[in-house]
Chains A and B, each alone.
Chain A
Amino acid sequence: GEDVEQSLFLSVREGDSSVINCTYTDSSSTYLYWYKQEPGAGLQLLTYIFSNMDMKQDQRLTVLLNKKDKHLSLRIADTQTGDSAIYFCAESNTGGFKTIFGAGTRLFVKA
Chain B
Amino acid sequence: NAGVTQTPKFQVLKTGQSMTLQCAQDMNHNSMYWYRQDPGMGLRLIYYSASEGTTDKGEVPNGYNVSRLNKREFSLRLESAAPSQTSVYFCASSVSGQGGYTFGSGTRLTVV
Chains A and B belong together in one complex: yes
Can you list, as one digit per residue, whether each of B23-49 has a CB less than 8 Å from chain A (1) or not (0)?
Answer: 000000001010100001111110010
User: Are the C-beta atoms of B59 and A103 separated by less than 8 Å?
Assistant: no
Q: Which of A30, A33, A97 contacts B50 (CB 8 A)?
A: A97
Closest Cβ neighbor of A44 among chain B residues = B103
Contact A88 B43 (CB under 8 A): yes
Interface residues of A, Cβ cutoff 8 Å to B: 4, 8, 30-31, 33, 35, 40-45, 48, 88, 92, 94-99, 101-104
Pair count A-B, CB < 8 A: 60
B90 contacts the other chain (Cβ, under 8 Å)? yes
Sample of 14 A–B contacts (CB below 8 Å): A8-B40, A31-B98, A40-B106, A42-B103, A43-B101, A44-B103, A92-B98, A97-B31, A97-B50, A98-B48, A98-B59, A99-B97, A101-B43, A101-B44
Confirm or deny: B105 has a beta carbon within 8 angstroms of a beta carbon on chain A.
yes
A41-B45 in contact (CB<8A): no
Query: Could you tell me the distance in whole angstroms from the C-beta of B95 to the nearest C-beta in chain A?
Result: 12
A43 contacts across to B, CB distance below 8 A: 43, 90, 92, 101, 103
| CB pair A48 B99 closer than 8 Å | yes
CB distance from A10 to the nearest CB of B (A): 16
